[in-house]
Structure 1
Amino acid sequence: MKRVNRLRLAAAVACVAVIGVVSPPAHGAAEGAPAGARTTDAPPPRACRQGDHKLTIVVTTDKANVADGDRLWDSHHVYMRSSHQDFLITYALAKGPERSNPLDPASAATGRTTYALDECYRTGADIGKHWKKAAAEWKDFNALVTWMRRPHTQVVTLHDGTVRNSLWQPGKVH
């Protein structure tokens, strides 16, 4: 049973590390253990679940804007990782080709790129805190806003969506 719990913990840490939100080593973390690894019975970082609040931004843009977009989103990731540990639950940025038929993943690519940012917070007030903090502290905030306003770029934003359904279950790693 201990082996299974360790495997679950290792899987949770790996999943969290992939999306870029890793807690600092917990009290009691084993020396040489990966960041965020815990040796105590403390629960692993939690998933976004029903009742939490989401900030989701989807940007679709032309090839000419992708290099700048990559640089800005990488800067955003570094900023978020260093400044939001106290109130950010999860953070993920996905990037991929826009499809000619958005309902058919096998349809031809349009040549444009879509970025999908997904951030999860406990409260809507935390999302407000994020916007104020990022605008005041993140050096590339205005550059990202300007990038999103470029010609042939579409932006859709869910500023404070409440998670209605979630498959997260206490005690299970998904």
Structure 2
Amino acid sequence: ADIEKVEALLASHREFMASTHSVTGDKDIRLNAYTVLKGPEMKNPMDPTEGTTGAMFYILTEHYETPNGLKKHLEAGSNWKDMGAMQEMMGKYAVGMTFPGFVISKMNR
């Protein structure tokens, strides 16, 4: 049941991002990348044959061209209808954040 709630919230977040952010617009506020990854927690990541724990990992990444992009994101987020639900979810589950984070290595196509 929680997986469905988390994924519905992530879908709402994606809609919010699409309606308030641009990947092609003004460089000062441009979103360079937005990704949500999903995968099961492995009992032993070095031996997948041991199976999974039943828990699910979600990784959400947002990368902005400039620090002002993050600032504008936070301003827009304060008006997002599901901000309270997102904060509740982040409080309930183990959430790690780099805020702000800096790209130290990347490979792009």
TM-score interval, smaller chain = 0.7 to 0.9
Instruction: List alignment gaps of at least 5 residues for structure 2.
Output: none
Partner of 1:142: 84
Matched, 1:159 2:102: no
Partner of 2:69: 126
Matched, 1:81 2:18: yes
Please report how far the alpha carbon of residue 148 of structure 1 lies from its aligned counterpart in structure 2 after TM superposition: 2.0
CA distance in 2, matches of 1:112, 1:128: 32
Q: 1:1-174 counterparts in 2 under 5 A?
A: 64-85=1-22, 86=25, 87-101=30-44, 103-104=45-46, 106=48, 107-135=50-78, 137-150=79-92, 153-168=93-108, 174=109
CA distance in 2, matches of 1:154, 1:105: 23
Please report how far the alpha carbon of residue 128 of structure 1 lies from its aligned counterpart in structure 2 after TM superposition: 2.0
Partner of 1:54: none
Higher-Rg structure is 1
The TM-score with structure 2 as length reference comes to 0.83
Stretch deviating more after TM superposition (90-99 or 124-133): 124-133
CA distance in 2, matches of 1:90, 1:120: 5
Q: Which has the higher contact order (CA 8 A, sep 6+)?
A: 1
The structure in which a higher percent of residues are helix is 2
CA-based RMSD: 1.6
> Residue 164 and residue 146 in structure 1: after superposition, are their counterparts in 2 closer, same or farther (change >3 A)?
same
In structure 2, what residue type is equivalent to 1:65?
Answer: D
Instruction: List alignment gaps of at least 5 residues for structure 1.
Output: 1-63, 169-173
CA distance in 1, matches of 2:62, 2:86: 16
Q: What secondary structure sits across from 1:112 in the alignment? A: strand
**What is the percent sequence identity of the aligned residues?**
30
